[in-house]
Amino acid sequence: MKILITGAAGFIGFSFAEYLLKKNNKFKVHGIDNLDDYYSVKLKKKRLHVLKNYKNFSFKKIDITDKKKYKNILNLISLTKFFILLLKQV
C-alpha cells in the first residue's frame, strides 16, 4: 500500500507515519512537508530523521500551495491512500 502524508514533520503527521511504519513494513509511506518556521524547524528535522530510518519511508520538501510541485509528486506515485495531516492556525 502506498500512502502519502502531508504535514509529515508535524506532530500528528509524524506520529501517524511512524505508527504506520511500525505496524506494517509493506506500507510505503511518502511524506511531504514545507518545513515552515511556524514552530521549531529543528524539531521537525529531528522527526524526519527518525522516519528516514525506515527503508519504506521517503520525504520531499514541498509546499502544497505550490500546485505544480504538488501535482508532480502526485503523478509520480500511484497512491493507495492519501492523508492530509497539516494544521496551521492563520
pLDDT in tens, 32-81: 999 999 899 999 999 999 999 999 999 999 998 888 988 888 888 777 66
64 φ, ψ to 5°? -70, -10
CATH architecture of 2-84: 3-Layer(aba) Sandwich (3.40)
Measured CA to CA, the distance from residue 81 to residue 27 in angstroms comes to 10
For 36, the grid coordinates are: 515552515
Side chain identity, residue 15: S
Compute CA 25 distance to the chain's CA centroid, rounded to the nearest angstrom.
16
The domain limits of the chain are 2-84
| pTM, rounded to two decimals | 0.84
